[in-house]
Chains A and B, each alone.
Chain A
Amino acid sequence: MIEKSTASVIIIGGGIMACATAYNLAKRGVNDIIVLEKKEIGNGGSCRNAGGVRQSARDVRELPLAMYAVKNIWPYLGEELEADVEYRQDGNLRLGKTEEHLDILEKHTAKSTSAGLDVKMITGDEAREICPYMSKEVIGASWCPTDGHANPLHTTLAFYRKALSMGVTFISGVTVYGIKKVKGRARIVETDDGDYEGEKILLCAGYESRKIADTVGIDIPVEKELSEVMVTEMEPQMFSVMLGTAESDFYGHQTKHGSFVLGGMSGGELYRTKSERFATYPLTASCLCRGVIKYFPVLKDAKIVRTWAGWYDVTVDKVPVIDNIPEVPGLTIAFGFCGHGFGISPAVGIAVSELMLDGNSHTIDISNLNYDRFKAKA
């Protein structure tokens, strides 16, 4: 069977950024799109994350994406995609147990406030009023009432399902090797399934985008870092806030289903063996359990049913690159989400679709996420 391998737009990678962009392009009438995914839809970070939809403690350069998404998209996203994305906007508490913790939290809070975000410092007792199950050791927290969480599996696959129904073609089981220019423009996408051809190409394959971008001479400083999540069995509904800690011992929330989804790291992830698989590290789940119990002693009897790992695609300055590449006309890139791309993904879909169709992102300011910002020391 000869299948069509040319389209107006080829998207490399089948994560939430691909699905959200494909959806936004289709909404604007461009549905001659082929999305190429090497494994399954959402198999990367998009179906491995812990669902935080957070503006607080974000770098101010990506705050416009987060604030836009929370204000204008998340509350209506389920309706728009005809799926239950389980969005809850019940706030985010970032907890501190020591003076040093409070210091970290205060710095973040000051920065976010100056960028226009409603976030403030509260006392331990005030935090316990919001979330009563917390240990007495918590002495303070930052509180952002407009933060929240959603179900990343449903959100990713809902964007996919909607884009599919609007005419977008998705092909999984195809690995992209590189991009080739024709007459100075990005045009050919080379894969283990032969060449695909597109007038415009979007590269959003997470960490693995780096080596693909390199085939057209673009190097973005991004590394992969393993991060893990564990989930408990169903528990009675206890609280609906999103939680984090100053030290990032863990973060997480209770889902609509009742299970707690809790994520974090055990330290030294950047220096561990770089497996090509998403294998969990034997010490991490134990370490996370210790972290959680310190803050929430009531959870000590909850049972962990499942753990998994995913990669953060971490850039050297900790914010993503979302830009058109003038040296390679026709190529747009969006990766390096540094472990918190889920919350902003619906807004990234809009920004990237505008970059591709209008040449610039006019609804949301992404001017600080430019690809050519990485400079040597002055």
Chain B
Amino acid sequence: MSKIIRKAPTEPFKPQPDDDLIICRCEEITKGEIRRAVHDGLRTVNEIKRWTRAGMGLCQGQTCQRNVQNIIARELGISVADVGMITGRAPVRPVVMEVYANDVVDKEEQR
């Protein structure tokens, strides 16, 4: 991660006409909520995720990550490469707990 200097916002938050556009469909997080978080000092995709829940839903950001990255980068006037990526987390698809619990190797099957 490259160096980022963070200071208090110097200008008030400026709303935009399309702020109520839904960006994260799983958690229903809008462009305005993401822009507001960036304005308040959250600067990376992970920080935005932890603060707003964008990318925390069932698809784990597979749908919205690009859009979130682009919004942050545009707000800050920096490159998309400098806002990071959502950390990948297991499992790739949601798994029912009873199935997940059942990892004991069957000795018969192994032979």
Which A residues lie at the B interface, using CB under 8 A?
3, 39-43, 47, 153-154, 157, 160-161, 164-167, 169-174, 193, 232-233, 257, 280, 283, 285-286, 289-290, 292-293, 299-308
Contact = CB atoms under 8 A, between A and B. Distances in A.
B1 A301 contact: no
B71 to A, nearest CB: 17
B100 A285 contact: yes
Contacts of B6: 41, 164, 169-172
25 contacts: A40-B47, A47-B50, A154-B51, A157-B47, A157-B51, A164-B6, A164-B8, A165-B9, A169-B7, A172-B3, A173-B2, A173-B4, A285-B90, A289-B97, A289-B101, A290-B101, A293-B97, A300-B98, A300-B101, A302-B97, A303-B95, A304-B96, A305-B58, A306-B60, A307-B90
Contact of B89 (A42, A169, A289, A306): A306
A165 B12 CA distance: 12
B89 A41 contact: no
A100 B6 CA distance: 51
B102 to A, nearest CB: 8
A79 to B, nearest CB: 17
Given A40-B44, A164-B8, A304 B95 contact: yes
Contacts of A307: 89-91
Given A171-B4, A232-B97, A286-B101, A153 B90 contact: no
B94 to A, nearest CB: 4
Given A289-B101, A290-B101, A301-B97, A166 B8 contact: yes
B65 interface: no
B97 A299 contact: yes
Nearest to A307: B90
B109 interface: no
Interface residues of B, number: 37
Contacts, number: 112
Interface in B49-88: 50-51, 53, 56-58, 60, 84, 87
A292 B7 CA distance: 43
B34 interface: no
Contacts of A300: 96-98, 101
Contacts of A167: 8
A308 B84 CA distance: 18
A39 B40 contact: no
Given A300-B98, A307-B90, 11 more contacts: A42-B50, A157-B42, A157-B47, A172-B3, A173-B1, A232-B97, A286-B103, A293-B101, A299-B97, A300-B97, A300-B101
Nearest to B102: A286
A3 B5 contact: yes
Nearest to A35: B6
Nearest to B97: A289
Nearest to B48: A157
B5 A169 contact: yes
Interface in B9-60: 9, 40-44, 46-47, 50-51, 53, 56-58, 60
A171 B3 contact: yes
A283 B102 CA distance: 11
A157 B8 CA distance: 14
B65 to A, nearest CB: 14
What 7 A-B pairs are tightest by C-beta distance, nearest first? A289-B101, A303-B94, A286-B103, A153-B50, A173-B3, A300-B98, A170-B6
B3 A161 contact: no
Given A47-B50, A173-B1, A286-B103, A164 B60 contact: no
